[in-house]
Structure 1
Amino acid sequence: MTSLAYRSVDVDGLRVFYREAGPADAPTLLLLHGFPSAGHMFRDLIPLLAGRFHLVAPDLPGFGQSEMPPREAFDYTFERLADTIDRFTEVIGLDRFALYVFDYGAPTGFRIAARHPERITAIVSQNGNAYEEGLSEGWNPIRAYWQDRSPANREALRAFLAPETTRWQYTEGTPDPTAVSPDGSTLDNAYLARPGADEVQLDLLGDYRTNLALYPRFQEYFRRHQPPLLAVWGRNDPFFLPAGAEAFTRDLPGAVVRLLDTGHFALETHAAEIAAAIEEFLG
């Protein structure tokens, strides 16, 4: 049986919740979740890897069980998310670790990697984008808000927060939607329903444009430091295209790319395959 601990830690006055499993002296893998989820998205992966790795899965500020400060007290930007998780790793004593990045976790983790390349042993990108060609037309409504931050364009983004949209993100692109448990999307929708969570998420959708502006910096980090990288993606993701996975090889000739017949939340259907790929890659 895997021993899994659920902890919280104070990070400069902000409470960050995290899951931790595996031997403390084993190689560490920092698991960074995406929108609109939390560390619970790794619930199937963690038991499969905990025998060989030290696994740490924090909830980003405003997500899951981590604290969601009011917007007037906390800037909900990706730079601030990265600042918090960067400090989180220092507070709990992570000196060197591999990154598992997904969706929002990618620009968060890549910021940390570019700041501290000496700390990063490897990167696993599961539908975690760093290239323009990885963005599908599904981003068009969000791009419209970047270009014109009108109340109408912001209001249009509320469709991304609807319960049916969350469930769609989990099932779209999967060969058999009935194989996707409703547990993850139901929990995500409960978090989204908290008072104020909608405005937090709209702020982050608006700030995502800053990630695109940093793509050249992330790519320079890849070229200069050549971190070992495994891109294991659901090929049918409606937001992040396979071209984004393949683009890593442009800057990292040794990158390993594996495309799976599933969608955005690939762990819901392919946790065993992804765990095996990680063990082979990091082993």
Structure 2
Amino acid sequence: MPSVHHRYTTVDGHRLFYREAGPSDAPVIVLLHGFPTSSYMFRQLVPILADRYRVIAPDMLGFGLSDAPAADEFDYTFDALAKLTAGLLRDIGVDRYAIYVQDYGAPIGWRLALADPSAITAVVSQNGNAYDAGFVDEFWRTVWAYQDRPSPETEAPLRGFLGLEATRWQYVTGVADETLVDPESWHHDYALLSRPGNDEIQLALFRDYATNPPLYPKVHDYFRQSAVPLLAVWGRGDEIFGPAGAAAFADDLPDAEIHLVAGGHFLLESALDEVAALMVDFLERRLAR
């Protein structure tokens, strides 16, 4: 099993944590995590990929083991997180890479692609939206309400998303056999969400999520113009980003490979082997080298 290194680098004065494994001269895959987790979500996938790829999995600022300056000391936006991620990749000498995007990792990955389309060799989207299709209304209506009218009343449901039971819900919803999901995963995330001041960081990003759908037309143009190889592997039971979000990639990338897999939002927890097999096959056939 390849060794996984746990490293830090400093970008614009912020210390960022990342996991790295694989040969230094191999094609690069960058794994971009979502809310409310970190590169911890890739702890089992990294060694599977690292026998043939250089794998980089960063923690975003405010998440995991990266710095988490207070929300009144840093402007938490998806633009800012993408800029820091680009800085981390420059710092470690990565200028051409495939991306795996999940949840928040998707809008960060789309910004990286729009800023430097030639850098992206392939895309794997695991429940990471790029279309208005796929937003499950029951979940997102509370987010939209908070964005439209920030107030204690609209904020309260989102604070509920930061609790232990809501974090567990993200992991087990859509999974037929909940015993496949390691409880340590949601307890790990909840412990980090519970750090003093982290609630305000997450609320800032909930507000800024409003900047992502307006970016989608540019993302669709990028897909059409680049014809980037894309694999969408989606937990069909996800009640945050539904299967329609996976199917929509074919609108702009007719050769997109789309697979709906039994599972939920954090598909790697219950279907690691299936996702990894699809990724390895896809990357071997279609990764632009």
- Using the size of structure 2 for normalisation, the TM-score is 0.96
Contact 1:237/1:264 (8 A) holds in 2: yes
Q: For 1:272 and 1:178, locate their aligned partners in 2 and report how far apart those are by CA, in whole Å.
A: 16
Q: State the alpha-carbon separation in 2 of the partners of residues 47 and 104 from structure 1.
A: 23
Distance 1:154 1:15 in 2: 30
Deviation at 1:206, TM superposition (A): 1.1
Instruction: Using the TM superposition, give the Cα deviation of residue 129 of structure 1 relative to its aligned residue in structure 2, in angstroms.
Output: 0.3
Note the alpha carbon deviations across 1:95-140, whole angstroms, 9 max, x for none: 1000000000000011100110010000000000010011011101
Secondary structure at 1:86 match in 2: helix
In the alignment, which residue of structure 2 is the partner of 1:153?
154
Instruction: Give the conservation status (yes or no) of the 8 Å contact 1:9–1:15.
Output: yes
Match of 1:72?
A: 72
Q: Distance in 1 between matches of 2:186 and 2:228?
A: 33
Counting only pairs closer than 5 Å after superposition, residues 133-144 of structure 1 correspond to structure 2 as 133-137=133-137, 138-144=139-145
| Mapping of residues 32-71 of structure 1, within 5 Å | 32-71=32-71
Letter in 2 for 1:190: A
Percent identity between matched residues is 52
The alpha-carbon deviation at position 155 of structure 1 amounts to 2.4
Q: Distance in 2 between matches of 1:111 and 1:226?
A: 17
The answer on whether the counterparts of 1:48 and 1:272 sit within 8 Å (CA) in structure 2 is no
The residue aligned with 2:274 is 273
Tell me how far 1:147 sits from its aligned partner. Answer: 1.5
Whether the 8 Å contact between 1:28 and 1:97 is mirrored in structure 2 is: yes
- CA shift for structure 1 position 156: 2.4
Task: Judge conservation of contact 1:238–1:264 (CA < 8 Å) in 2.
Answer: yes
Q: 1:138-164 CA deviation, whole Å, 9 max, x = no partner?
A: 101111111111222122210110100
2:250 alignment counterpart: 249
- The answer as to whether partners of 1:20 and 1:57 remain within 8 angstroms in 2 is yes
Structure 1: gaps spanning 5 or more residues: none
SS in 1 for 2:24: coil
User: Which consecutive residues of structure 2, in runs of 5 or more, have no partner in the other structure?
Assistant: 285-289
> Which residue matches 2:184?
183
CA RMSD between the two structures: 0.8
Q: CA contact under 8 A between 2:70 and 2:198: conserved in structure 1?
A: no
The equivalent residue for 1:31 is: 31
Aligned equivalents of 2:58, 2:132: Cα separation in 1: 27
Q: Given residue 117 of structure 1, which amino acid in structure 2 is its aligned partner? A: P
Q: Structure 2 CA distance, aligned partners of 1:14 and 1:150?
A: 30
